[in-house]
Amino acid sequence: MHECSDNMFKIVVSSDHGGAELKSFLKIHLESRGYSVSDFGVQPGEKSDYPDMALPVADAIIKGVADRGILLCGTGIGMSIAANRIPGIRAALCHDDCTARMSRRHNDANVLIMGGRILGVQLAVSITDVWLETDFDGG
Ligand code: RB5
């Protein structure tokens, strides 16, 4: 479990309209745990195309502006396809704690993707916490 400190990850979050509501809950959760969170949009009620929302997050990670990214769309599939087109991005679409844990341990995923129309808030929070707290095994 991370302590609240300046050494915690800088996280960028973004979504299309299919993931905006879940993103709002996750952002509140992450900030309550002391993470620095930049929200690249969209907000609930706004519409957007998922590739337009994925690319700025990928860019922030590649440039070292942020350590980790979290992307949401309706199913997570579109965001996964878009983010993984960017060299250096290892985006993992996760549906449970196990896939979240293994995406860190075995894949060193630097972007977590979830489906806003697939997951409930409680499960999404759990996935996010596991993903942020699990280290890469290396090798
Ligand atoms: C938007 O309606 C929806 O198609 C999108 O959020 C996503 O699920 C695509 O993969």
Could you read off the pLDDT of 94-108 as tens digits, one per residue? 999 999 999 999 999
Give the pLDDT of residue 6.
54
73 catalytic residue (yes or no): yes
* pLDDT band, very low/low/confident/very high, at 139 (cuts 50, 70, 90): confident
CA–CA gap between residue 24 and residue 40 (Å, rounded): 12
Q: What is the pLDDT of residue 3?
A: 43
CA dihedral 130, 136, 137, 138 (to 10 degrees): 170
CA-nearest of 126, 120, 122, 65 to 112 is 126
Question: Contact at 8 Å (CB) between 82 and 91?
Answer: no
- Ligand 1 environment, Cβ below 6 A: 16, 18, 50, 73-75, 77-78
Q: What is the mean pLDDT of residues 19-47?
A: 97
- Report yes or no: 61 and 68 within 8 Å, Cβ to Cβ: yes
> For atom 3 of ligand 1, which residue has the closest CA?
74
The residue whose CA is least distant from atom 2 of ligand 1 is: 18
**pTM recorded for the entire structure:** 0.95
Average pLDDT of the chain to the nearest whole number: 95
